[in-house]
Amino acid sequence: MPQYQNIVILTGAGISAESGLATFRSSNGLWNNHPVEDVATVEGFQRNPAYVHAFYNELKQELVKAQPNPAHLALTRLQNEYPARISIVTQNVDTLHEKAGSRNIYHIHGQINQAVCQNCGQILETFGDVDTETVCPHCQIMGMMKPNIVFFGENLLCMDEVDRLLRTCDLFLSVGTSGVVFPAAAFVQIAKLNGAETVEFNLEPTSNNYYFDRHIFGKAGSTLPAFIDDLITNR
Contact pick of 135, 141, 181, 232 for ligand NAD (by CB under 6 A): 181
Residue 16 interacting with ligand NAD (CB under 6 A): yes
Strands, sheet with 110-117, edge to edge from the N-terminal-most edge strand: 123-125, 110-117, 145-149
> What span, in angstroms and rounded, lies between the C-alpha atoms of 38 and 59?
15
Residue 174 interacting with ligand NAD (CB under 6 A): no
> What span, in angstroms and rounded, lies between the C-alpha atoms of 125 and 137?
11
Closest CA to 235 of 78, 100, 87, 101: 78
Residue 115 interacting with ligand NAD (CB under 6 A): no
- In the complex, minimum distance from the CB of residue 79 to ligand NAD, in angstroms, rounded to a whole number: 20
Residue 216 interacting with ligand NAD (CB under 6 A): no
Contact pick of 202, 211, 227, 231 for ligand NAD (by CB under 6 A): 202
Closest CA to 106 of 187, 42, 29: 187
Q: Is 109 a catalytic residue?
A: yes
Q: What is the DSSP letter of 35?
A: -
Sign of CA dihedral 77, 16, 87, 110: negative
Q: Compute how many residues bind ligand NAD; rule: CB under 6 A.
A: 27
Interaction pattern, residues 75-104, with ligand NAD; x per rule: CB under 6 A: ----------------xxxx----------
> What span, in angstroms and rounded, lies between the C-alpha atoms of 205 and 224?
16
Contact pick of 23, 87, 134, 198 for ligand NAD (by CB under 6 A): 23
Chain-centroid distance of CA 173 in Å reads 13
182 φ, ψ (degrees, to nearest 5): -90, 155
Choices 125-133, 140-148, 198-206, 226-234 (CB under 6 A): range interacting with ligand NAD:
198-206
- In the complex, minimum distance from the CB of residue 133 to ligand NAD, in angstroms, rounded to a whole number: 26
Site for ligand NAD in 122-151 (CB under 6 A): none
89 vs 231 by CB, closer to ligand NAD: 89
Beta bridge partners of 171: 7, 197
Q: Among the options 34, 109, 138, 215, which is catalytic?
A: 109
In contact, 224 and 201? CB cutoff 8 Å: yes
Residues with a catalytic annotation lie at 109
* Interacting residues toward ligand NAD by CB under 6 A: 12-14, 16-18, 21, 23-25, 30, 91-94, 109, 176-178, 181, 201-204, 206, 219-220
